[in-house]
Amino acid sequence: MSPAQMEGYLTYYYESNFLYVAGLDSVESKSVENFALLKLSFLPGTDMNQALSQTVAYIERAHAYMPAGTVPPFVLRFDAGTVPVGYVVFSSKTHSVDELQDLALNRVRPLFTTLPGVSSPATFGGSSRTIVIHVDRSKLNSYRMSTGEVVKALLSGNVIAPAGDVRTGKLDRITPMNAVVSNISELANLPVRTGAGPTVFVRDVGWVEDGSDITLGYALVNGRRTVYLPVTKRADASTLAVVNEVKRAI
């Protein structure tokens, strides 16, 4: 969605519903391409636990009026505990920035969340691993096909669907109809069009890449692109203790 669409179809409904939250002082919003950021400020003395629960409740109400497929937002309570006490910076001579992002997010971050007093936001600097389907427009035209047919083939040909159960003796076995590919390259073998004529596969109109998502931001450390992990502490934790715990864990 464009910024104008984000403001009209999403931000507007959030702002309207947030006016019901008790103790609200102001609402600031910023709508950009594909996402929006809203900041809620509250009057002094407001019970923030109650304000947070009301905010989440009205988000659910606003969500009902939005276009199908709208992703629920992240709700973060901003206080002194959300300010990072340090950053863990990743670098490697053999791994790309996107590979570092994947390792930091899925391997390192879960380990940090188990440390007492430590909370660890998402990594920043790289792009998420994404399987990209590249389609050749000229090949699509030669088969008189649209990109919508390719999307439909991917959605229907790579799914997990329950098929029922089968009784074998004393056992009742669940039988899933697992149609998820085990190797990413197998996506190229999905049929896009079947029927009287020859079957057209994904490989006939394009190719599959184990790549990364569109880069929306990047981090530089000493002039080189890298990935970093902010380290924050919980409100009741000691800054010094949290820093020492992270260093010990590293």
The verdict on 149 and 193 lying in the same domain is yes
In a domain? residue 68 = no
pLDDT score of 220 more than 90: no
What single DSSP character describes residue 247?
A: H
pLDDT, tens digit (0-9, with 9 covering 90-100), for 32-57: 888 899 999 999 999 988 999 999 99
Per the listing, tokens 């931001």 go with: 217
In a domain? residue 21 = yes
The verdict on 86 and 117 lying in the same domain is yes
Structural domain boundaries enclosing 19: 3-63
What does the buried/exposed string (b/e) look like for 36-75 if buried means 16 or more CB atoms within 10 Å of the residue's CB? Answer: bebebebeeeeeeeebbebbeebbeebbeeeeeeeeebee
What six digits make up the tokens of 110?
């879960």
The verdict on 133 and 243 lying in the same domain is no
The verdict on 54 and 149 lying in the same domain is no
Contact 205, 138 (CB under 8 A): no
In a domain? residue 235 = yes
Q: How confident is the model at residue 250 (pLDDT cuts 50, 70, 90)?
A: confident
The verdict on 123 and 219 lying in the same domain is yes
Nearest Cα to Cα of residue 133 among 152, 157, 151: 151
In a domain? residue 160 = yes
Q: How confident is the model at residue 178 (pLDDT cuts 50, 70, 90)?
A: low
In a domain? residue 42 = yes
Q: What CATH code is carried by the domain that includes residue 88?
A: 3.30.70.1320
Q: What CATH code is carried by the domain that includes residue 173?
A: 3.30.2090.10
The verdict on 119 and 12 lying in the same domain is no
In a domain? residue 52 = yes
What does the buried/exposed string (b/e) look like for 169-181 if buried means 16 or more CB atoms within 10 Å of the residue's CB? Answer: eeeeeeeeeeeeb
pLDDT score of 135 more than 90: yes
The verdict on 16 and 84 lying in the same domain is no
DSSP one-letter string for 79-148: SGGGS-SEEEEE--SSS-HHHHHHHIIIIIHHHHTTSTTEE----BSS--EEEEEEE-HHHHHHTT--HH
What single DSSP character describes residue 19?
A: T
The verdict on 118 and 227 lying in the same domain is yes
pLDDT score of 183 more than 70: yes
Nearest Cα to Cα of residue 73 among 64, 63, 82, 81: 63
Contact 100, 226 (CB under 8 A): yes
In a domain? residue 71 = no
SS3 for 43-72, per residue? CCCCCHHHHHHHHHHHHHHHHCCCCCCCCC
At residue 81, the pLDDT reads 65
The verdict on 114 and 13 lying in the same domain is no
Predicted TM-score (pTM) above 0.75? no
pLDDT score of 8 more than 90: yes
In a domain? residue 69 = no
pLDDT score of 69 more than 80: yes
The verdict on 133 and 208 lying in the same domain is yes
Contact 131, 202 (CB under 8 A): no
Single-letter amino acid code for the residue at 50: Q
The verdict on 181 and 135 lying in the same domain is yes
The verdict on 107 and 228 lying in the same domain is yes
The total of structural domains in the chain comes to: 3
Using CA atoms, how far apart are residues 33 and 1, in angstroms rounded to an integer? 6
